[in-house]
Amino acid sequence: MTDLGSALEHAGGSGKNKEGISIGTFLASLATAIIVFAVEFLCFLLLKGKLTRIYQPRTYLVSDRERTQPSPPGLFRWIAPVFRTSSTEFIQKCGLDAYFFLRYLRMLLKIFVPLGCLLLPVLLPLNKVGGKDTSYKNNTISDGQWNVTGLDQLAWGNVRPENTSRYWGHLIMAVIAIFYVCGVFFDELRGYIRLRQAYLTSPQHRLRASATTVLVTAIPESWLSVDALETLYDVFPGGIRNIWINRNFDDLNEKVKQRDELALKLEAAETDLIIKCKKAQLKQARAAAKKTGKNPNAVETQEKKDADRMASEMALDGGVSSGNPHQARTLDQILHRTKSKKKPVEPGHRKRLNPFDPAMEAAGAVGQGVGKLGKSMMGGIRKVEHGLDGTLTRSGGYVPEDGISIPEHHAEHEEINEASPDEPRVWLEDPRDNTEPIVEAGASEARPVSRPKRPFWKSQLSKDSKTSHNSEPDELPLTAPESPVEPEEAFDSESSNSPVKEKSKSVNFKEGDRVKGEEYPIAYNEGFENEEFGEPLWQKYIKPKDRDTMRLPIFGISWMPSLWLIGKKVDTIDYCRKELARLNLEIEIDQQHPEKFPLMNSAFIQFNHQVAAHMACQAVSHHVPKQMAPRIVEISPDDVIWDNMSIKWWERYLRTFGIIAVVCGMVIGWAFPVAFTGLLSQLSYLEAAFTWLSWLSKLPAWFLSAIQGVLPAICLAILMALLPLILRFLSRTQGLSTGMAVELAVQNYYFAFLFVQLFLVVTISSSFSTIISNVTDVTSWPELLAQNIPSSSNYFFSYMILQAMSVSAGALVQIVNLVSWFILAPILDKTARKKWGRTTNLNQMQWGTFFPVYTTLASIGLIYCVIAPLILIFNVITFGLFWFVYRYNTLYVTKFRFDTGGLLFPRAINQLFTGLYVMELSLIGLFFLVRDTQGEVACEGQAIIMIIVLFLTAGYQFLLNDAFGPLFRYLPITLEDDAVRRDEEFARAQRARLGLPNEEEDPAETIEHQLAEHEHQQHEVDRMSRDIEMKTLESSSDRQSHHHMQRPHLGPHRTSWADRSPNRRSPYYKTHSDTQVPSVQRLRDKIAQDAEAQGPPSRNLGPTLFAGIHDELEDLTPDERDQLTQRAFQHDALRAKRPVIWIPRDDLGISDDEVYRTQRFSKHIWVSNEYQALDGKCHTIFSRSPPDFSEVDLIQL
């Protein structure tokens, strides 16, 4: 144990090893960093124009509201737009968190650039001229006691004892630096509050439900009812709009998670089954060609070409589907419940079934070149360079719509076949429509020449069945007793969105009446294996033992792991089918009876006015301490952590205390595993310290060198990658209510960890016992810091320049993404869903572990700005490069789903005070350690002044937070009047765009005029070309802001926003049905339909076709927004929809056979092979989004 302790002690204090580093050595490190930066930056310049999906996905793979204009081509022309993008546009596209992160980096430049200009000309001469390096080097005086070399000649310790008066200059510069930094903090916080308030009170933000909704936790049971909460909170201005009392759906949520996991397994197993059959068929064809004397390679090549052609046709063509529950997945279905009218599709044209499908036209990239992904997300396909286009279209799986043309005579032939009595028409489900079945692709759409083979029993069953042609496949009889739960005929978004009829509610559940072991109807045909459906087609190509298998959890307990060689081995497809059918049925029944689940002690309360929500958060709600608290506003519904909604106040305190204790232990104890990784680079030391490691000397020298060079870095990278995951897990366990609250907590924990590990351990401790032995003696802290900090400055010079060069260029070239696309994707992405997910899911920023890295670097810069002022140069280079790189990435690469409203910014500024405090403590210790020629303390005065400055800094931080603290999160009442006026101006501008009458006009007199005018405009639009339509549509959004800003105020002026009725609605909505309201979204849909009807899809239709994605709340009417809000604040488990098993279509008919067999096994499994196929290389390709994709999930409420 002693040997191990000494070994770990040997690994500490790495910063002190750089003491006295020569200028030549430092320049060598600098040259290495510059070379790495140049190589990575050159790679970025060469790849940027070719790999649009990696380097510019935000130019097409996000909604129009967030989309960035593509950067101009050329090696360096892309730089100008990075600087020219205005703050307003940046906030609109990226959010406040991204903006304030870049503003934080800019603030650091605002600190270090002036400090560098002031401190460097003053302190460098004071340290260098006539310093110790000239009189005491080469052991000429005092036995080399003050031998100062290298970059240390420019630091604090180079001042002679006879020149101690120079330290007054250091004191003055330190005081100026501290006062200036504090002034910058004040100015930035004031600007932060002003900008945050402007953003939160903007009309666009106030439309969101999160702006007016408050989460109230720890509600006592006596207040846990809608009436009680309404009575309590209706005292605030405007009254209450909605109340949602949360229920404990933990059991239901576990079922949903298990179902989703099983669905993915079943989808992967079915896909693998089809791939194996296709590979076996190709192998058989090769063997047959060899027997007949043909060239097997030529035959195989031709087979693959034919398969590729047919796969492209099938991927663009509709397939078959069974078990579609017709749950609402588009905005129109949820809001308007319109019945889509089927119209014949002309040969060669495609009908859009999913509004997000145009995303896939943009997502085409990945296959033969990630560059192909640079197409417009909404259908337009941008031209990109083709240098890498030959490597990735198939691996990415996307098939562009215009990549193949289907001859018209094929469609005519299929229509004849469909009408012929030999092959009766089979009705299949359209995932978009809610009432009528659609004909299997081919009856109304063009189809490939060679159809996949149908199982022989399909036609026979269709002939013999008593079911009419208008019945859906789900309705075919099963031999097993049927479930009383039937699919709904219409969408019902307000009844849990579950496809279960009211007649299934045979049991009346009381409040919280949930019984363990509840019995559910049978979900699948138990006699399916014994029925005569014929042998499955896959048996013609592979054996049963070739199918995928899986191990069940040990002991049959669901939460136990399933281990290799342990647990029952089952067929994956058979097992997952049964479990998926069972879970689908149970979940949909449970969703229809939410009243049987117990209430949680929390609720969401939506007010009519934003200021009322902020007042409710700050008011004391209950007479008992900690009851009905905390109350949180600005919560995104999708960001809620539902598992933490029922935590009691005392439980939250216990969890917080325990988590903080664990984090503190990690902060201190993490140094030991990190030190152990460092020992791996010193194997010779380990060999001498531990006799049982003597065998290391027998290993080859090259092998030892490889281990010492690679293994420490890999182990350290794994440790550092695990840390953020551990911290986030601990923060969630702490009981925080939202993901953004978790990020704020992680920001605190991660900064504490980095500051201790990256600075204190590296700088102070020559051994780990040093910190532990001195941490209890507060008076020794200044001396401890003073003795160790100056000698480690050179280490941070090298560290910062390496961070600036290598990390910034690495973030620009995106090495991780390149590895993900070119190495991991071909290996891991076997199903079309995985390929679709990799294509459409952009990188997302996790701010909790992002801010602290740069806060730590800035704190180190503040600590050394007076002690070793040369660090200011490296601070400027570091933060300048990071500002530029991350400004590019936030504009073009990273997607931001959730936002704290910039709350990380003031917290990061408060963390920067840590750097000021450590700098002041260090200077206090250094001043007390300065000795004159007589060996006496020479800088007592400076030390005392610095002690005073330390207390003044602490007082300043307290007053700063006391003054600004309430405004960091909440809005003052004084802003409401101006906000209401802006709301009214914005509403008038919106009504003008919607074509609705003003409130002052009589709707009875204006509605006919408005509709007539709208009809006339539509006739004019029909006569325009599509290009003109696009320009009109794009320019209208540009004119919107200008229009509503300059429109004069009309109508009577209200003296107070509180005088308005809490349920105010336009008379238009009272007298006319929803379907008559000509909203902007419906006008967009009409234009898109007209444009599509004029001809085949065009490369320039991206902006128009994007109207299919409804993600802008201002384009919806108030009633429509309210409907979305009613759905959004339901529990995740209550909103969960039945997943689809999306499998590829193949020319052998295996896929169709699996769909039909699944259909007869259970009507509670949704399986589809629509718009997905298998190509000649047995890779999945697709042309649409998954059928179960819901566009409503894209809307930020």
Residue 627: how many CB atoms within 10 A of its CB?
17
| pLDDT above 80: residue 629 | yes
Q: Please, which pLDDT band fits residue 739 given cuts at 50, 70 and 90?
A: very high
CA–CA gap between residue 861 and residue 914 (Å, rounded) = 12
Residue with tokens 């902060």: 667
Highest mean pLDDT (candidates 363-377, 517-531, 993-1007)? 517-531
Number of H-type helices and E-type strands within the chain: 45, 13
Asked if residue 609 has pLDDT above 80, the reply is yes
Distance CA(898)–CA(845), nearest Å, equals 10
| pLDDT tens string 466-506 | 333 333 333 333 333 333 334 343 334 333 343 333 334 44
Of residues 832 and 493, more confidently modeled:
832
**Cβ neighbours for 237, distance < 8 A, ≥ 6 positions apart:** 609, 611, 612, 615, 1057, 1058
Task: Retrieve residue 563's tokens.
Answer: 């281990």
Predicted confidence at residue 490, as pLDDT, reads 37
Q: What is the DSSP letter of 104?
A: H
Specify the pLDDT at position 385: 43
Which of 162-171, 1015-1024, 1110-1119: highest mean pLDDT?
162-171
Instruction: Report the pLDDT averaged over residues 559-582.
Output: 84
Tell me which H or E stretch contains 247: strand 240-247
Structure tokens at 253: 């949520």
Residue 113 Cα distances to 104, 117, 752, 872, angstroms: 14, 6, 26, 8
| H or E, element range at 36 | helix 23-48
Average pLDDT over residues 39-58: 90
**Domain boundaries, given as residue ranges, for the chain:** 4-48+85-195+751-843+851-888+909-965
Are 794 and 36 contacting, i.e. CB atoms less than 8 angstroms apart?
A: no
- The structure tokens 């030549």 sit at 24
In the structure encoding, which two tokens stand for residue 892, read together? 């073009």
Q: How far apart are CA 124 and CA 442, in angstroms?
A: 82
The 3-state secondary structure of 1085-1103 reads HHHHHHHHHCCCCCCCCHH
Q: Model confidence over 535-563: pLDDT tens digits?
A: 889 999 999 899 999 888 876 666 666 77
Does the CA dihedral 996-1001-1003-1009 come out positive or negative? Answer: negative
User: Residues 257-273: what's their mean pLDDT?
Assistant: 95
More confident residue, 48 or 992: 48
Q: Check whether 573 has a pLDDT greater than 90.
A: yes
Q: Report the pLDDT value the prediction gives residue 177, as an integer from 0 to 100.
A: 96
- pLDDT at position 454 is 41
Q: Which residue has the tokens 């034919």?
A: 306
**In the numeric block, which tokens belong to residue 452?**
């996949």
Q: Which helix (H) or strand (E) holds 893?
A: none
User: Torsion angle, CA of 1146/1148/1150/1151, rounded to 10 degrees?
Assistant: 20
- pLDDT value for 1010: 52
190-199: pLDDT as tens digits: 999 999 999 9
The arithmetic mean of pLDDT across residues 282-304, rounded, is: 81
Looking at the chain, the whole-number percentage of residues with pLDDT higher than 70 is 68
d(CA 1038, CA 773): 65
Q: Is the pLDDT of residue 857 over 90?
A: yes
| Nearest Cα to Cα of residue 277 among 1143, 1097, 949, 1185 | 1143
Q: What is the mean pLDDT of residues 627-635?
A: 91
Measured distance CA(522)–CA(505) in Å, rounded: 16
In degrees to the nearest 10, what's the CA dihedral of 427, 433, 436, 437? 0
CA distance 182 to 956: 8
C-alpha distances (whole Å) from 643 to each of 152, 602, 749 are 55, 12, 22
What is the side-by-side strand order in the sheet with 240-247? 240-247, 599-607, 213-216, 631-633
- Neighbouring-strand partners of residue 632: 215
Assigned token pair, 974:
């004084």
Query: What is residue 807's DSSP assignment?
Result: I
Residue 628 — φ and ψ, nearest 5°?
A: 55, 40
Q: What average pLDDT does the segment 1139-1149 reach?
A: 92
pLDDT digits (tens, 9 = 90+) for 64-92: 778 888 888 888 889 999 998 888 889 98
Q: What is the mean pLDDT of residues 114-119?
A: 95
Q: Which of 805-814, 1006-1015, 1031-1040 has the highest mean pLDDT?
A: 805-814
pLDDT above 50 for 668: yes
**Average pLDDT rounded to a whole number, residues 297-316:** 81
Q: Please, which pLDDT band fits residue 22 given cuts at 50, 70 and 90?
A: low
Location of structure tokens 């720890």: 218
Given pLDDT bands bounded at 50, 70 and 90, which one contains residue 264?
Answer: very high
Q: Tell me the whole-structure pTM to 2 decimals.
A: 0.79
DSSP H helices in 670-803: 671-679, 683-689, 701-733, 739-754, 762-763, 768-774, 781-788, 793-802
Gap between the Cα atoms of 642 and 148, Å rounded: 60
The whole-angstrom separation of Cα 506 and Cα 516 is: 18
pLDDT value at 1045 more than 70: no
Q: Given this model, what pLDDT does residue 467 score?
A: 37
Q: 435 or 220, which is more confident?
A: 220
**Pick the residue with more confidence: 767 or 1114?**
1114
Q: Which residues contact 920 (CB under 8 A, 6 or more apart)?
A: 174, 178, 946, 949, 950, 953
Those residues whose C-beta lies under 8 Å from the C-beta of residue 377, and which sit 6 or more positions away, are: 60, 61, 62, 67, 358, 359, 361, 362, 363, 1102, 1106
Mean pLDDT for all residues in the chain: 75
Q: Tell me, what's the pLDDT at 874?
A: 92
* More confident site: 985 or 674: 985
Per-residue pLDDT, 516: 61
pLDDT at 890: 93
pLDDT number for residue 767:
46
Q: Which residues, including other chains, have CB under 8 Å from residue 1070's CB and lie 6 or more apart?
A: none
Find the mean pLDDT for residues 222-235. 92
Residues contacting 42, CB < 8 A, separation 6+: none
Describe the chain by its helix, strand, coil percentages, rounded to 5: 60, 5, 35
> Is residue 380 within 8 Å of 1099, Cβ to Cβ?
yes
CA distances in angstroms from 832 to 84, 394, 433, 1152, listed in the order given = 39, 11, 23, 17
**Number of residues written out for the chain:** 1197
pLDDT in the model for residue 938: 85
Given this model, what pLDDT does residue 834 score? 92
Query: From CA 216, how far away is CA 629, in angstroms rounded?
Result: 6
Predicted confidence band of residue 228 (pLDDT cuts 50, 70, 90): very high
- How do 1166-1168 and 1140-1142 pair as beta strands? parallel
Residues 6+ apart with CB under 8 A from 754: 852, 853, 856
